[in-house]
Chain A
Amino acid sequence: MDDTTFLLALSGMLFALGLVGVIVRRNLLVTLMFLELMLNGVILSLVVFTQLLGAEAGAVLVLLVFVVAAAEIAIAVPILLLLVRAGHTLDPGAYAGLKG
């Protein structure tokens, strides 16, 4: 098993782990963490493919995804804070009424 295959498998496992976490955990904060885990899995595969194909644009794309992820978390956490302040729980089931 060479490095590339190993790294791709690792990225796939990170993604799958994150997905399982998002689905089974009932804590919104932990769900966000698992989301980040999924994102990191994807980014890892992106880096691997960039190295493999020698495409510099990929490296730039990785940085872009970081920025987007940071921005996303910066918005998600305050929303979560406001939710908790209103509902006093981190269980997403308690907020099912928000579906509109």
Chain B
Amino acid sequence: MNGLLTLLVLLPLAGFLVNGLFGRRLGPAFVNIVGVGLPLAAFAVAVWAWRILEAGGGEPLIETVFTWALVGEHVFEVSFYLDRLSAVMALIVTGVGALIHIYSIGYMKGDESYARYFAYLNLFLFFMLLLVLGRSLLVLFVGWEGVGLASYLLIGFWFQDVDKARAGRKAFITNRVGDAGFLLGMFLIFTTVGTLEMDQINQAFAGGLIPVGIATAAGILLFIGATGKSAQIPLHVWLPDAMAGPTPVSALIHAATMVTAGIYLVARMSGVYLEAPAASTLIAVIGLLTAFLAATIALVQTDIKKVLAYSTISQLGFMFLALGVGAYAVAVFHLFTHAFFKAALFLGAGSVIHALNGEQDIRRMGGLAHRIPWTSGTFLVATAAIAGLPPLAGFFSKDEILWFALASGQGGSFWFWLLGSVTAFLTALYMFRLYWLVFLGRSRMAPEVAAHVHESPWPMTSVLVVLALFSVVAGWFALPQYLAPLLPAPDLRFAWPILHWGLIVFAVLVAVAGLVAAGVLYGDGGRRAEAIERRFARLYRVLAGKYFVDEIYERLLQRPWRWISDRVFLRLGDRILLDGSLHGLAALARRGAGVLVRIETGSLHWYAWMILLGLVAVLIWVWRYV
């Protein structure tokens, strides 16, 4: 059916407009129907569109909405493009999105800005769908900026709190740095290929006529954009602070969907990266470093959401590792499984925070497993999934990533695999540490908090159950094979099935080792872990300080920039040059007027004489010179 994709994109926009304009007056029941109903409808439409796509054998659906601009012979169209990759993304976005909307009914209940919250959330869905369905890089970029805006609005949702408002600003500004790279990459591609339609760009680069230098430059510039949105080193600093937003927002935007936009971008532009091995290697190295360093930071964080935030950064690093070694479909596979278990983890964390009346410090939790069994059970499933225990979702996707990190003919290396495995071990360790400290052991809660612990209402727990279910089964879909016609797997350096099986067994052992290590270190209430912290106090300070990246940026970037802003732009530029020249002009006019005002006497005859004189002067001038 024609117009289906347009409908899909416009449904959440309608939700934003209705709830944003009238939601406050019409009350929470109405807000629920619109704010949750429209994302559910969008999910239904996405499924429908996907069925049509499959009925056509995977032939992409293209829908042109209107012509945006005609510049010379270049046509810029707003058109939507649904192939298997964008279908997977659209299904994740609308599916997980709709679930999180339902969860929000319970979580945000009674908030004074209830309608505004759902309006923003729908706005986010709209821009995210624009991002994944846009055929042209231009439309993708509009969505890209739009989700950044929605993210900013939702991080600073409780803007009365200055810290939260500041966190929103930090996210926005950090993303701008990446966006500059994205824009430059777009310019470069446009001047080279002459179009921004992504399928045509891939074809043009696959033709092999474009120099490697340009492909590398374009690839790196686009990747800079991806590092901003997907929180990779060196632009990862905004994501931990983004946890200031409501927890369902962290689950939807800062774990499941928006931060994976960078993965989607690189996978979508895989034609460029296939021609740019150097850029791909850079992606793999940055991704792996991010995965490893973020995992080490997650080991010592004490805020439940911060642990999950660094875990997200680390998992995104894994996805970039897969992209860097040419296993694009595998990266999307991990994106797919990660969306479920990370959403489940965040929503579980939200349920814990809800149960403890706002407490986020895991040092003041413990022993919650029996008090909130639904939350605890689903959290355990999702933890096992992210740790990579078979047969849960994370096991399959992470194993594929590690296999290609070793065996890919496009830059696979033993060192990638080794550091990746260490990171997988750390992942299991910090996740089970989190589970142990929150749900097991003795309670460390304040008595008045412990007295009020309660399981969350059904909109929240039912969503947790659904997501936990998907955390189990999501890995059973053979997504890389499904996407293979679009994103073929890289050639292997060696095809020894025995090695692959050996690696799988090893990966399981690594995950179990992480579980056991967490049990040993934190099983006794964390006394052994504290002993280790004291033993390696310096290392602990570095990790707890997040490698002091924020402090380094403060010294190297913010202070010099603030100095330049103050001295050069404010005092010299604004006050002396701009204000000075304007004040000078005003003073000149005032002084001139002081002289001229004497001519104005009020006598009509005097004026008539002056006019006569003027006329005569003009006439003489005309006779002389014209």
Q: Residue B496 at the A interface, CB < 8 A?
A: no
B595-616 CB mask vs A (1 if < 8 Å, else 0) is 0000011111100110010000
Q: Are A92 and B604 in contact (CB under 8 A)?
A: yes
Q: Are A23 and B605 in contact (CB under 8 A)?
A: yes
One of A19, A22, A96 near B601 (C-beta < 8 A) = A96
Q: Are B602 and A23 in contact (CB under 8 A)?
A: no
One of B602, B605, B608, B609 near A97 (C-beta < 8 A) = B602
Chain B residues with Cβ below 8 Å from A31 are 604
Q: Residue A93 at the B interface, CB < 8 A?
A: yes
Distance in angstroms between the alpha carbons of A31 and B603 in the assembled complex: 13
Distance in angstroms between the alpha carbons of A96 and B600 in the assembled complex: 10
Q: Are A99 and B605 in contact (CB under 8 A)?
A: no
Chain B's closest residue to A20 (CB) is: B612
Q: Are B612 and A96 in contact (CB under 8 A)?
A: no
Q: Are B601 and A99 in contact (CB under 8 A)?
A: yes
Q: Residue A86 at the B interface, CB < 8 A?
A: no
Chain B residues with Cβ below 8 Å from A24 are 605
Q: Are B609 and A98 in contact (CB under 8 A)?
A: no
We find that the number of chain A residues with CB closer than 8 angstroms to chain B is 13
Nearest-Cβ distance from residue B549 to partner chain A, whole angstroms? 66
Q: Are B605 and A92 in contact (CB under 8 A)?
A: yes
Q: Are A96 and B608 in contact (CB under 8 A)?
A: no
Q: Are B603 and A23 in contact (CB under 8 A)?
A: no
Q: Are A99 and B612 in contact (CB under 8 A)?
A: no
One of B600, B601, B612 near A23 (C-beta < 8 A) = B612
Nearest-Cβ distance from residue A42 to partner chain B, whole angstroms? 12
Interface residues on B, range: under 10
Q: Which of A24, A95, A97, A99 has the most CB of B within 10 A?
A: A99
Q: Are B602 and A99 in contact (CB under 8 A)?
A: yes
Nearest-Cβ distance from residue A2 to partner chain B, whole angstroms? 23
Chain A residues with Cβ below 8 Å from B605 are 23-24, 26, 92
Chain B's closest residue to A98 (CB) is: B602
Distance in angstroms between the alpha carbons of A26 and B604 in the assembled complex: 9
Q: Which of B602, B603, B609 has the most CB of A within 10 A?
A: B602
Nearest-Cβ distance from residue B596 to partner chain A, whole angstroms? 13
Chain B residues with Cβ below 8 Å from A95 are 602
Q: Are A22 and B608 in contact (CB under 8 A)?
A: yes
Q: Which of B601, B603, B604, B612 has the most CB of A within 10 A?
A: B604
Chain B's closest residue to A23 (CB) is: B608
Chain A's closest residue to B603 (CB) is: A96
Nearest-Cβ distance from residue A14 to partner chain B, whole angstroms? 15
Distance in angstroms between the alpha carbons of A96 and B604 in the assembled complex: 8
Distance in angstroms between the alpha carbons of A31 and B602 in the assembled complex: 16
Distance in angstroms between the alpha carbons of A29 and B447 in the assembled complex: 98
Chain A residues with Cβ below 8 Å from B600 are 99
Distance in angstroms between the alpha carbons of A97 and B608 in the assembled complex: 17
A29-58 CB mask vs B (1 if < 8 Å, else 0) is 001000000000000000000000000000
Distance in angstroms between the alpha carbons of A97 and B602 in the assembled complex: 6
B158-183 CB mask vs A (1 if < 8 Å, else 0) is 00000000000000000000000000
Chain B residues with Cβ below 8 Å from A92 are 603-605
Distance in angstroms between the alpha carbons of A3 and B603 in the assembled complex: 40
Chain A residues with Cβ below 8 Å from B609 are 23
Interface positions, chain A 57-100, Cβ under 8 Å from B, are 92-93, 95-99
Distance in angstroms between the alpha carbons of A24 and B604 in the assembled complex: 11
Chain A residues with Cβ below 8 Å from B603 are 92-93, 96
Nearest-Cβ distance from residue B198 to partner chain A, whole angstroms? 60
Chain B residues with Cβ below 8 Å from A97 are 602
Distance in angstroms between the alpha carbons of A99 and B601 in the assembled complex: 7
**A residues with CB within 8 A of B:** 19, 22-24, 26, 31, 92-93, 95-99
Give me 20 other A-B pairs in contact (C-beta within 8 A), A19-B608, A99-B600 excluded: A19-B612, A22-B608, A23-B605, A23-B608, A23-B609, A23-B612, A24-B605, A26-B605, A31-B604, A92-B603, A92-B605, A93-B603, A95-B602, A96-B601, A96-B602, A96-B603, A97-B602, A98-B602, A99-B601, A99-B602
